């Protein structure tokens, strides 16, 4: 199974790269004709700022998830930790950002089990939020399937479903411990509605960053915005859940090109390439600022 999973990732990555290269080859003249005006650079700077704000907001929402699990995470700590670890998602394996957050939570005295559960719940809530937003402009023949998947994801994080699974996991974990050592049992006290709405805000901020980036290359009519937000949300969702390159590189771009077919392909190609650059730059700036502030705080202490 491990070998099959590894081969599957390479097959997915190879198919994505083939699609992107073929599309770029066929539309190279359109891409080469794109020019960014002075106003376009302002849109790009605004897109960078909004994308950075989205990551800051996501770090705050992660703190909400920890507090739902009875861990007293302060917003300043959760945001700084999130920003410092988020850049690690581009490392092979796409798990190191989660590992870094769990270790950071452990170092400040939080429950390792609660921290681990928080980094499991976070992408689940993100996926549910992105899918809900994608329904805004979905085609009629896709809405039923997406709605069923959304209901399944929302149901999977309901306390009545998740708490029994947590109890089973706790018992299995406790089998390897001495009899006199207590086993921690985690439970959700209520449905995580606030974190879910928070993740919806994160996806909308990311979508806004993409809209601003695309506006730097071509004007966008107001009636086109719902379709763009829907297409971006679904493309970002697949980049989150489909195995492939770290950070969803390639998966997001290929899906966005396929979904946003009502827009000129050259503009979409240029937009997804620019937005990937904007996103990485925003994450690097966030990590650098958070690391610098943490270092300064340690020096003052």
Query: What are the structural domain ranges in the chain?
Result: 49-157+192-300
The pLDDT score that the predictor gives to residue 57 is 96
Residues 228, 226: Cα–Cα separation, whole Å: 5
Mean pLDDT within 104-127? 90
Higher pLDDT, 176 or 44: 44
Does 180 score more than 50 pLDDT?
no
Q: List pLDDT tens digits, range 66-97.
A: 998 889 899 999 999 999 999 888 877 778 88
Residues 265, 210: Cα–Cα separation, whole Å: 16
Residues 111, 116: Cα–Cα separation, whole Å: 9
- For 239, counting Cβ atoms within 10 Å of its Cβ (0-12 exposed, 13-18 middle, 19+ buried), the class is buried
The pLDDT score that the predictor gives to residue 135 is 78
The pLDDT score that the predictor gives to residue 181 is 47
The pLDDT score that the predictor gives to residue 171 is 64
In 27-157, where does DSSP find H-type helix?
Answer: 28-32, 38-68, 75-86, 96-107, 112-134, 140-156
| pTM, 2 dp | 0.84
The pLDDT score that the predictor gives to residue 172 is 57
Q: List pLDDT tens digits, range 235-256.
A: 999 888 876 566 667 788 888 8
Q: What does the mean pLDDT of the chain come to?
A: 81
Q: Where are the beta strands (DSSP E) in 84-190?
A: none
């Amino acid at each position: 199974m491990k070998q099959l999973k590894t081969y599957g990732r390479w097959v997915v990555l190879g198919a994505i790269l083939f699609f992107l290269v073929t599309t770029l080859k066929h539309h190279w003249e359109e891409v080469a004709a794109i020019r960014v005006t002075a106003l376009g650079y302002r849109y790009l700077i605004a897109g960078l700022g909004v994308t950075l704000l989205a990551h800051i907001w996501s770090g705050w929402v992660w703190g909400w998830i920890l507090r739902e699990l009875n861990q007293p995470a302060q917003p300043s700590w959760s945001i700084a930790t999130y920003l410092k670890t988020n850049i690690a998602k581009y490392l092979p394996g796409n798990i190191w950002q989660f590992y870094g957050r769990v270790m950071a939570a452990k170092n400040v005295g939080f429950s390792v089990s609660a921290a681990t559960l928080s980094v499991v719940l976070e992408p689940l809530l993100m996926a549910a939020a992105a899918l809900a937003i994608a329904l805004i402009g979905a085609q009629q023949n896709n809405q039923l399937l997406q709605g069923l998947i959304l209901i399944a994801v929302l149901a999977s994080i309901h306390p009545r479903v998740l708490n029994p699974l947590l109890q089973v996991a706790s018992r299995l974990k406790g089998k390897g411990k001495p009899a006199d050592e207590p086993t921690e049992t985690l439970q959700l006290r209520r449905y995580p509605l606030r974190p879910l709405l928070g993740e919806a805000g994160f996806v909308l901020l990311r979508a806004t960053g993409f809209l601003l980036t695309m506006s730097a290359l071509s004007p966008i009519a107001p009636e086109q915005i719902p379709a763009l937000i829907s297409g971006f949300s679904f493309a970002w969702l697949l980049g989150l859940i489909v195995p492939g390159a770290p950070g969803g590189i390639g998966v997001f771009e290929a899906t966005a090109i396929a979904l946003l077919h009502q827009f000129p392909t050259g503009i979409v190609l240029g937009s997804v390439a620019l937005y990937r650059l904007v996103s990485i730059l925003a994450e690097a700036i966030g990590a650098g600022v958070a690391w610098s502030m943490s270092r300064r705080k340690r020096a003052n202490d």
